[in-house]
Amino acid sequence: MIALISVFLLIDRQFASQLNVYFAWIIPLPIILYTAKHGFKAGWLPYFGVAVLSLVISSLPSLIFALLYGLVGLLYGWGINRKFDSRIQFLFTTLFTTIIYFLSMVLFASFFGYDMGDEVKIVAELLRTMNVQVSAAETDLIRMIIVMSIFLAAILEAYLLHIFARVLLKRVLKITIPASAPLSKFSLPAYIGYILMALLFIWPLSRQLQLDTNWQNIGYTLFVFSTMTIVVHAFILISVIQKRYKMRTLIFAAVFSLLLLPTVAVFPLMIIGLLDMVTDLRQKLLGVKNNA
């Protein structure tokens, strides 16, 4: 397992550490296989082996990626070994890959050779060459598109890792993957809802205090992350309502309104999502609380 990751790191070194930008999700796969078969404690062996070899044969950014993604593989394999729900596995994989993207492209962006502020300026200059005047609101829109692309890349990466891990576990190790629980049973704890609610105010507060651009980028990233998580919860509740009251086009109407008028539709969806997270509204709709 260690040798497989070492081959990837050696090839990545020949490409000037550019492969880890697009294919770093390959690193956790051998660790997932080993940990799923032998357990969490045994999984630390390939993890530390990869850390030592990365220190010897790869660059510092590649070493950091190997450590972070190796930890993702360790936790994912532990979840498979403990037979956690598949949907929970995917959720936490998405969360960890999002954190890695946040660290590498927002918080420590200059260390990894990326600057969101410069990216916004490049897009703005490109629009000006096309005789398009870029105002402050349009600059925020450009920043939002960049942040959204980061989160979508993190979700796509988590999905690829999840799918390839399931295929390898079934085909190579013949491990039976537990079936996913119904979507209506998935819910984040109420305190997560309160934390996400608090994170929504970081970006407006950073702008009000006129903080440094880097802090505003961090605040905006947390704002978008919180909004997306809350909206996902809203769609889960909407799907429950659609099934409970047999309203066949409810989800379609919600998605269509979000695509047609995103700035208007996102706020009702956020209210619905927060109500779902911090109250027992879903249990009441499903009749779980009354019939328990």
Phi (first) and psi of residue 76, to 5 degrees: -65, -45
pLDDT tens digits, one per residue of 225-266: 888 889 988 998 998 888 888 888 888 898 888 888 877 888
Cα atoms found within 13 Å of the Cα of residue 18, Cβ hemisphere only: 3
Residues with Cβ < 8 Å from 72, sequence gap 6 or more? 28, 93, 96, 97, 100, 161
Summarize pLDDT for 124-167 with one digit per residue, the tens: 777 777 777 777 667 777 777 777 787 888 888 888 898 899 88
Residues 223/199, Cβ–Cβ less than 8 Å: yes
At 272, list the tokens.
Answer: 């619905």
Q: What is the pLDDT of residue 5?
A: 85
Query: For residues 207 and 54, what is the distance between their CA atoms, to the nearest angstrom?
Result: 40
Name the packing angle between helices 262-278 and 190-199 (round to 10°).
150
Cβ neighbours for 177, distance < 8 A, ≥ 6 positions apart: 80, 86, 166, 169, 170
| pLDDT at residue 212, as a whole number | 78
pTM for this structure? Answer: 0.72
Alpha carbons 241 and 248: distance in angstroms, whole number: 10
Using pLDDT thresholds of 50, 70 and 90, give the confidence band for residue 110: low
Residue type, position 26, single letter: I
How far apart CA 268 and CA 282 sit, in angstroms, is 17
* pLDDT on residue 114: 65
Please answer whether residues 32 and 73 qualify as being in contact, where contact means their C-beta atoms are separated by less than 8 angstroms.
yes
Average pLDDT along the chain: 82
Average confidence (pLDDT) over 109-113: 65
